Structure 1
């Protein structure tokens, strides 16, 4: 089903969003913000993660179900198409700084020609979206049978073009440590359940603090994802975790999103000053609930509390 260009299966909707069609499926982008938090507890959007949302006949289809129905010969093309969708829809936000995390499955690209072609497609999509290469973070998902040489080659070519690298589901076992040494990423996404287990005791929390600091000393930013209530955010703040993601802060939204209204791109002099918990609740009355939006800049209470239970 491969087309003549990365835009062969894309269409620009009346609302300004980009969608794609594959057989009976319509593909849409959902974007979820990734936040930084400064020493005073202020939150700021630093990036978005692109998530694919398929539908058929107007009814949502789980991504896993969709990918199971993709013809084998189309898998690499669909993987590339999803990234292109996310890049174009993030570019439509017209933000000047926010990065975009897009997932990669390097095992789909098995020859040098495959790698060069895919890297070039990302470059073209980024150019069309008005996003510089350094704002695209390629999140590498490695499978057990992936060739390490080919993986290293793929990452090298991405870096040569100026793209950033992230590894996901980091859990500090031997394979994760080897992956870290091989890829030398700019970002590390910690595996959410692994983090949850370590935060349930003081020794585990202390270890996470050390790991976050050591990564930062190497120029690597840690991301804690899957945060589902503000107590978890508070603990991350106490551990100096640089980047945060989860339903406690913002749920994914289908493009076109309302994130420019919810989290406008402003400089530090324009921050809303909210000092106390009561001020925060007046600004956002449902602050204690998982929600679709959060205050543009909202300090959370910095006192650590018990780690919250997952609700999904």
Structure 2
């Protein structure tokens, strides 16, 4: 019961808010067709009902007259049978419910005939209006004989009216449907669809588009008002599209001016601040760090003053290009102002990687630039600050990087400096040591010490291993762990390797010439040296200069070097084997220990790492590994050298295990040339005395 009021209220609210045009048009058409039909149907029903009532009244009057005539004769002759028959004939009419004949002459009882269903309710039904009572005087020759009373069914004829009403309603409904079937397609095709297209076209205006939802262009060929409106919209759309294009270009230009440097095209300070602050949030969440470079060009003012601002601008553009090319895609470089640039270096593992990147930047900036037919060189000073160690907000971080730039300029320009004092100290010490190492190589400060290798059973010297030392003028004798890594990072390791090979071969030739038999000469080669194509040339040059046989020289390389690039390693080893130079695998057991590369590369010698030898006294696993390596070497026809022999018990175990050669402090420490010669002379004297 509550749905209809709610639906009506919703409909009324929707009507006030405004129905869609297509629904409004359809509703108007339906109402325009249906309301006249309903009105016509109502009027027709009212006229039919009035006509029906008039006909029924005439019919009743006719029946009363016919009945009074038919019973006049029987009442005159007092024929009760004929009167009864006349009453029955009146009841045969479907309109008649009851008949009563009252005789006014004879004192005979009245005659009454009633349909069974109305026998008890004539008076009540007449009072209620369900029956109509009519009275007619019976006359003969002007004399009143009696009275005829007839009750008629008041509902007679309603069924006919209802049937007629149903027929008319069906005809009206068919008429409405037929009209709608004709009007609706015309309405949809000529009005609703064009209006829908106009709506899409208007929507496309807001979307800055020129096509409808199906990708079709809005082309109007109609000549009516809707077509004219559509063509006007197309013109407006074309003008708006051109206007939006201009606005888009202006917006892009404004955005470029707001966030990018107009000269170099790099992000400006505003955009850089936003990117750095986002990176700070990300770094906080992921517990990472990043670096900020403050780059200041050295001697830029001199270029501006001497060659003009146009040349200075060209120089800045070139420096910006070099910075973009040098940095990684994840890094961000911006021009802060003048000749100052800022760089955000993401995804750093350790602070040393920042130094390597700063070195690359310094190198590319220092490359000559061609300006106005003149070659110009400038350098840069770089200050480095780390997040979050040095600062946790942008301004402080840049300020600290600026302080580091000042430190770099104070130290002489064309360098980089960390804000963190400890890192600066370590960096400065590393730079100084790198410069001193280059001087040491050029001026003979490097020396070789030699550690003997003896036969495990006889104790005879079979080889010496050349180990480089640095006789520093102020810090004394430096061991390889203090400068080899620096030599590899600075690229000096190749020069050091060439010197080591040449000096080791020269010393072996000198000992042979003086009759001192030390066996073969073993020289360590680093990973960088081994992969350098100049290694073979250096070997051949050293052998040719010294005159020693290639078989008297052994090259020691680690397992990791061999496994890093197996094809390259195999080619180099094949060349070494062709030369006749021996190959030893150093620190065997601590790297990959792959049997495949032993089979493929076929070295001459395996050197068991000293960690296994040192633990052989107490660790059964180490003893098993030593025995396993010795057994493997014997099976492959390789000799075995045990490093790090420091006790007599270790010597005894290695002899028992079948190890071929021993090397370690128990035999002798690495010795200078004079000390080694004295050691060998002492051993010779002891052997002679025995």
Q: TM-score, normalised by structure 2?
A: 0.33
Q: What per-residue deviation string (whole Å, max 9, x for no partner) do you get for residues 76-135 of structure 1?
A: 12222222222222222114570011111244454xxx43x3223212312333321001
Structure 1 unaligned blocks of 5 or more: 1-19, 275-312
Secondary structure in 1 aligned to 2:555? Answer: strand
Q: Which segment drifts farther, 195-204 or 155-164? A: 195-204
Larger Rg: 2
Q: How does 1:155-174 map to 2 (within 5 A)?
A: 155-171=573-589, 174=592
Q: How does 1:177-256 map to 2 (within 5 A)?
A: 177-202=595-620, 204-256=622-674
Secondary structure in 1 aligned to 2:491? Answer: helix
User: How far does residue 148 in structure 1 lie from its aligned partner after superposition?
Assistant: 1.5
Q: Please, which of 440, 459, 462 is the counterpart of residue 46 of structure 1? A: 462
Q: Does 1:77 align with 2:498?
A: no
Aligned to 1:32: 451
State the distance in 2 between where 1:202 and 1:142 align. Answer: 24
State the distance in 2 between where 1:223 and 1:90 align. Answer: 20
Would the aligned equivalents of 1:25 and 1:56 in 2 still touch at CA under 8 Å?
A: no
Q: Please, which of 558, 576, 586 is the counterpart of residue 141 of structure 1? A: 558
User: How far does residue 222 in structure 1 lie from its aligned partner after superposition?
Assistant: 0.8
Secondary structure in 1 aligned to 2:445? Answer: strand
Aligned to 2:682: 262
Q: What per-residue deviation string (whole Å, max 9, x for no partner) do you get for residues 267-310 of structure 1?
A: xxx96586xxxxxxxxxxxxxxxxxxxxxxxxxxxxxxxxxxxx
Would the aligned equivalents of 2:555 and 2:582 in 1 still touch at CA under 8 Å?
A: yes
Structure 2 unaligned blocks of 5 or more: 1-438
Aligned to 2:544: 127
Would the aligned equivalents of 1:107 and 1:147 in 2 still touch at CA under 8 Å?
A: no
State the distance in 1 between where 2:648 and 2:520 align. Answer: 24
Q: Which segment drifts farther, 61-70 or 162-171? A: 61-70
State the distance in 2 between where 1:161 and 1:72 align. Answer: 30
User: How far does residue 227 in structure 1 lie from its aligned partner after superposition?
Assistant: 0.8
Secondary structure in 1 aligned to 2:460? Answer: strand
State the distance in 2 between where 1:121 and 1:162 align. Answer: 15
Q: What per-residue deviation string (whole Å, max 9, x for no partner) do you get for residues 163-195 of structure 1?
A: 011001111764443442342111100111123
Count of matched residue pairs: 244
Would the aligned equivalents of 1:103 and 1:141 in 2 still touch at CA under 8 Å?
A: no
Aligned to 1:102: 523
State the distance in 2 between where 1:213 and 1:182 align. Answer: 18
Q: Structure 1 or 2: larger helix share?
A: 2
Q: Which segment drifts farther, 155-164 or 122-131? A: 122-131
Q: Which segment drifts farther, 198-207 or 144-153? A: 198-207
State the distance in 2 between where 1:47 and 1:230 align. Answer: 20
Residue 132 and residue 44 in structure 1: after superposition, are their counterparts in 2 closer, same or farther (change >3 A)? same
Residue 66 and residue 210 in structure 1: after superposition, are their counterparts in 2 closer, same or farther (change >3 A)? closer
Q: Which segment drifts farther, 224-233 or 27-36? A: 224-233
Residue 106 and residue 156 in structure 1: after superposition, are their counterparts in 2 closer, same or farther (change >3 A)? farther
State the distance in 1 between where 2:591 and 2:467 align. Answer: 27
Secondary structure in 2 aligned to 1:209? Answer: helix
Q: What per-residue deviation string (whole Å, max 9, x for no partner) do you get for residues 124-149 of structure 1?
A: 31233332100111111354683211
State the distance in 2 between where 1:148 and 1:99 align. Answer: 27
User: How far does residue 240 in structure 1 lie from its aligned partner after superposition?
Assistant: 1.7
Aligned to 1:153: 571
State the distance in 2 between where 1:161 and 1:180 align. Answer: 19
State the distance in 2 between where 1:146 and 1:165 align. Answer: 17
User: How far does residue 212 in structure 1 lie from its aligned partner after superposition?
Assistant: 1.0
User: How far does residue 21 in structure 1 lie from its aligned partner after superposition?
Assistant: 4.0
State the distance in 1 between where 2:552 and 2:569 align. Answer: 21
Would the aligned equivalents of 1:27 and 1:53 in 2 still touch at CA under 8 Å?
A: yes
Indicate the structure whose relative CO is greater, using CA pairs within 8 Å and at least 6 residues apart: 1
User: How far does residue 207 in structure 1 lie from its aligned partner after superposition?
Assistant: 4.9
Residue 69 and residue 104 in structure 1: after superposition, are their counterparts in 2 closer, same or farther (change >3 A)? closer
